[in-house]
Amino acid sequence: MHRSTLSRRRLFRFAAGTLVAAAAPKRGMIVRSTRAEDVEMPLEGFLESYLTPIDRFFVRSHHYVPTVDAAAWRLQVKGKVASPLTLSLDELKKLPRVELVSVLECAGNGRGLYEPSMAGLQWTYGSVGNARWTGVRLADVLKKAGPQTGAIEVLFDGADVAVGTQPEFQRGIPFAKAMDPNTLLAYEMNGEPLPQEHGFPLRVIVPGWAGDSWAKWLTSIEVRDTEFDGFFMKTGYRHPGKPVAPGSAVDPSQMKPVTSLQVKSIIASHVDGESVIPAATKLRGAAWSNESPIASVEVSTDGGRIWKPARLGKDAARFGWRQWEFDWTPPQPAYYSVMVRARNTAGETQPMTQEWNPSGYGHNVVQEVHLNVAVPGKPLPKPAAEPAQEVPAVVRQTCLGCHGEEAISQQRLSRTQWEREIEKMQRWGARVTPDNKEALVDYLSKRYPYRPRK
């Protein structure tokens, strides 16, 4: 069978009844990392349709994507329960079928916009999407197993295997959130079997919460009476929850796990610095929130002095995003500062300046797009592309075994930050000799220094 036929069908059966999902080819995405796969939706994805098409939906995987055989796959429900369960996909699907539309946004969406910058995938706007998720209530599964008194947390584990010596991706959510009727175990996305890269055959849906809680390729659910202390709970995905000095280190014990999303809106029809002709223009984008839906979206075309309501798209769901548009005829050729601001039903809105945090989570500052409204002149010549530079042998040999160069080249880090990054890589299995370390820090901090974003 041709690969294209396989991917169009997305789900296929080998001889002997093995049922696996094919990875869906993605369309025009911004590549943040090739191995593991991390891809970002470009701005036009916000405008394409209310539900983000699967071939436009961002992917964030800490480890390489596993291939799971649905026929052999089982879900374990264990820990502080009266009767531990082992469920096949067919058994799971006998529970009541539930469907909801929800935004899924990575906690790190917008990390690339922080100043000063920090290590991590440099997402800008598009590690977010809006999909219809179908599955069963996690609460129904937990009730079947009979959670015991004292249960405080539910820990998820998936079929993905850690790269190098990085810890396994295991995340937990509070027991009360697990019992929320909107917390699902989904086997379908936009009416199709869950695609391989989005967690086939089963993933967790935690509407209103950041993506790190939405475990993919789910294989085990553990009900706990103590807090799990693995890396991705006690070190990763934590936020100080209060102002800290930009660029400072904060001990993870002084931070809290990332939970609810921030109310946020995006201008997707125009990019910062764009020239537009002085005529009727439509500004467009999307806005989303957490457990409290969007109440309003406002636009300013004068740098935040006057705000006027945008028109909201008719498609709405409690946890879904709202598309918005705003008709604007610039009064005269000039340089305009266009901004968008959302508010939710709880009264939360977006800040005018972004509070900084060490890992760059929860970016939701009011977005500002400068538009040069002008009668078009001669287009400027395109700047010459930077000549490709060869990757030195020491980087190729020490760094490119586990992931590609794009994970490295997008960073904007000081010498100290590069030193820390290389030490982190050593903890995760990179073999760096003291001599190499000097050479690596030297090269990386000169080639990819801290610099303002272009």
Ligand X SMILES: Nc1nc2c(c(=O)[nH]1)N[C@H]1C(S)=C(S)[C@@H](COP(=O)(O)O)O[C@H]1N2
Q: Please check whether residue 261 is in contact with residue 289, taking contact to mean a CB–CB distance below 8 angstroms.
A: yes
Minimum distance from CB of 106 to Mo ion (Å)? 3
Q: Which of 46, 58, 133, 418 binds ligand X (CB under 6 A)?
A: 58
Residue 104 is a binding residue for Mo ion (CB under 5 A): no
Q: Which of 120, 193, 211, 293 binds ligand X (CB under 6 A)?
A: 211
Q: Please check whether residue 194 is in contact with residue 200, taking contact to mean a CB–CB distance below 8 angstroms.
A: yes
Residue 119 is a binding residue for ligand HEC (CB under 6 A): yes
Residue 135 is a binding residue for ligand X (CB under 6 A): no
Residue 31 is a binding residue for ligand HEC (CB under 6 A): no
Q: Please check whether residue 343 is in contact with residue 324, taking contact to mean a CB–CB distance below 8 angstroms.
A: no
Q: Which of 293, 356, 422, 445 binds ligand HEC (CB under 6 A)?
A: 422
Residue 246 is a binding residue for ligand HEC (CB under 6 A): no
Q: Please check whether residue 145 is in contact with residue 175, taking contact to mean a CB–CB distance below 8 angstroms.
A: no
Residue least distant from ligand X (Cβ): 211
Name the helix (H) or strand (E) containing 393.
Answer: helix 393-399
Question: For residue 365, what are its two tokens?
Answer: 């500052």
Q: Please check whether residue 353 is in contact with residue 246, taking contact to mean a CB–CB distance below 8 angstroms.
A: no
Residue 257 is a binding residue for Mo ion (CB under 5 A): no
| Phi-psi group of 146: left, alpha or beta (phi > 0 → left; psi -120 to 50 → alpha; rest → beta) | left
Residue 164 is a binding residue for ligand HEC (CB under 6 A): yes
Q: Which of 43, 68, 85, 408 binds ligand HEC (CB under 6 A)?
A: 408
Q: What are phi and psi of 294, to 5 degrees?
A: -65, 130
Question: For residue 416, what are its two tokens?
Answer: 């100290």
Total residues interacting with ligand HEC, rule: CB under 6 A: 24
Q: HSE (CB half, 13 Å, CA atoms) of 73? A: 27
Q: Which of 22, 24, 59, 422 binds ligand X (CB under 6 A)?
A: 59
Which residues touch 197 (CB under 8 Å, ≥6 apart)? 23, 24, 37, 59, 61, 65
Radius of gyration of the chain (CA): 23
Q: Please check whether residue 160 is in contact with residue 102, taking contact to mean a CB–CB distance below 8 angstroms.
A: no
Considering CB distances under 5 to 8 angstroms, the limit depending on partner class, which of ligand HEC, ligand X, Mo ion, none binds residue 198?
Answer: ligand X
Residue 26 is a binding residue for Mo ion (CB under 5 A): no
Is 120 or 201 the residue whose CB approaches ligand HEC more closely? Answer: 120
Minimum distance from CB of 92 to ligand X (Å)? 17
Q: E strands of 61-163, at which residues?
A: 75-79, 85-87, 98-105, 128-137, 153-158
Print the binding letters for residues 342-371 with ligand HEC: x by CB under 6 A, - otherwise. Answer: ------------------------------
Contact residues: Mo ion, CB under 5 A: 60, 106, 211-212
Contact residues: ligand X, CB under 6 A: 57-63, 104, 106, 158, 160, 169, 198, 211-212, 214-217
Contact residues: ligand HEC, CB under 6 A: 36, 62, 119-120, 163-164, 166, 398-399, 401-403, 407-408, 411, 421-422, 425, 428-430, 432, 440, 444
